Chains A and B, each alone.
Chain A
Amino acid sequence: MIKIEKVSLSYDKRTVLEDITLNLKEKSFIGIIGKNGTGKSTLLKSIAGLLKPVKGNIFIDDKNVYDMKKNILARKISFMPQTMQFDFSFNVKDFIMFGRYPYTNMFKMASAEDFKTVEDVMKLTETSELEERNINELSGGERQKVLLAQTLVQQTDIVALDEPTSHLDIGSQATIFKLLKMLNEKYNKTIITTVHDLNLAGEFCSDIVFLDDKKVINFGSAEKVLNYKDIEKVYDVKVVVHTNPISKKPVVIPVYN
């Protein structure tokens, strides 16, 4: 259970979010949506222990995230950044192994358990055939899968992801989100992700946090949050909300005239 209590966050001395209170349930699949620059990533990073709130507290299982030892927190919640620069390209298998860092100390070599975990995760994320490739040679979709694999070998109950599918084609978007869904349903992981694409959020997330103007304007199921009134007000575009005939989930269609 993640409790966000009266949290205010600022980024570059500018207040992005003010007095946010949220309770995120364990084993849920949470999507954070909102316009560019509303603080989706800021909120996500503060939950992951990367950005200390200026006011308020964040608790994971009743422990304050910013009082926890960093290596303990690293076994509780993992974080996949939106972009990673690779000035030096790593071999995919080495790269995924880096995610095991919280389980090794500075000098320790990777143990049999570390190798086993990496192997299992690579199978799960279908990255096994990439293991000898260099991270810089991969396509966008392959690279995101490898980043996800690195995040998963950290074996945390909570996985936080910052725009895991930006710049991906719809096929790769589906692959990543289906993986996340499987992790959520089969492996009981709590998934928290920021997402631009309202339809992906509607299709996959069990709960959606809708941010606007420094506040949470709505929080709940896709059907509840993705209503045309809020979307039109926030994004300043006319939309029609339909229901996906197969999954029965809401689909947002913009109307341009």
Chain B
Amino acid sequence: MNKILKFVLLLIILVITFIIAMISGISDISVMEMLKSLFSTGEGNTYTIINQIRLPRVIIAIVAGAGLACSGCVFQGVLRNPLADPFTLGISGGAAFGASIGFAFGITKLSWIFLPLLGFLGALLSVGLVYILNMKKEFDSNTMILSGVVASYIFSSAVMLVFSISSSDQLYSAFMWLMGNLAFFDERILPMVIILVMAGVVILCCLGNVINIISLGNEKSNSLGINTARTVKYIFLLSSLITACIVSCCGVIGFVGLMIPHITRKFVGNNNKVLMPFSAVVGAIFLLICDTVSRTVIAPVEIPIGVITSIIGGLFFVFLLLRKAGKISI
């Protein structure tokens, strides 16, 4: 099938998923009612539920899904490692550390801004650590992955340390946040996250060709006229920034960055120019479905989205592997 046609089809699926997500929830709202409240300035319960509760959450799910999948793709390509994802590089570990401090010492209760802010600062701390460790090594892929894993370990121990010395009543919240949760995010931060993440995703998608070249290895990419070390550095910083933005408001959502690119590879191949936009949309659809499931399946209790992403995604991937048994190439 033609790539453009496939892409249009994906966008249609995204729209359908969007509609389903908007009408599912504790209160029953029909498609017509939903559309009416969405496109009018109205009052009343339905209007509030649609515009103030569901819409921001659906949007953050789409944006986060696209951002995570896209940065996952980038890390895999640039680091030439199928197991790389935004979290291999320790970004989520840092965010988790920042947020844990917030929860454990009651800082998050002071104002809504502190949770995303601390999460973001924590993520930057870990990105900074990986960056410094790699400055002299010219952003070699093995060193990058190794230093990311090291950063992850350091920060996850730090999280444990913070929890063990804290007696805060917020530890349960912290736990829920660590598993990835869209319920914590405050819609006042939404515009900033949308702008940063979507701008980043668009730039990364345009860099598909550069990522292709870099994935050929340093010698080839240098001989094709790319300053590989510098380019990898910038791409790493940009994708890290996107991930940091997402993790700091949604918590640690696993699986999306690692598996969505692989699932997408099965359908469109490995050419990053094509793969990146496709991954972004598939990631958006996937996270939206997962979030809808997480808040409806045993409502009013919410299951952390990280749990859902791992279960649904894992099973789907097992299915893909079995179906193509003998021709496995991740």
Contacts and interface: CB of A to CB of B under 8 A. Distances in A.
Interface residues of A, number: 31
B269 interface: yes
A88 B72 CA distance: 14
Given A87-B81, A94-B271, A71 B225 contact: yes
The 3 closest A-B pairs by CB, nearest first: A74-B225, A79-B223, A71-B225
Contact of B82 (A79, A81, A87, A102): A87
Interface string A78-105: 1101001101111100100011011010
A81 B212 CA distance: 16
- Place the interface of chain B in its size category: 20 to 34
A17 interface: no
Contact of A90 (B80, B81, B270): B270
Contacts of B213: 98, 101
B209 interface: yes
B224 A99 contact: yes
B225 A84 contact: no
Interface of B: 76-77, 80-82, 206-207, 209-210, 212-213, 215-217, 219-220, 222-227, 265, 269-271, 329
29 contacts: A48-B223, A50-B222, A70-B222, A74-B224, A79-B219, A79-B220, A79-B223, A81-B217, A81-B220, A84-B217, A85-B80, A87-B80, A87-B82, A88-B82, A88-B265, A88-B270, A89-B329, A91-B269, A91-B271, A98-B224, A101-B209, A101-B224, A101-B225, A101-B226, A102-B225, A106-B206, A106-B210, A107-B209, A136-B329
Q: Which of A70, A72, A74, A87 has the most CB of B within 10 A?
A: A87
Contacts of B223: 48-50, 74, 77-79
A27 interface: no
A107 B224 contact: no
Contacts of A106: 206-207, 209-210
A45 interface: yes
B206 A84 contact: no
Contacts of A98: 212-213, 216, 224
Contacts of A71: 225
B226 A70 contact: yes
Interface in A102-156: 102, 104, 106-107, 136, 154
Nearest to B275: A88
Nearest to B217: A84
Q: Which of B76, B222, B223 has the most CB of A within 10 A?
A: B223
B231 to A, nearest CB: 10
Contacts of A73: 225
Contacts of B217: 81, 84-85
Contact of A84 (B209, B220, B222): B220
A61 B80 CA distance: 35
A87 B329 CA distance: 9
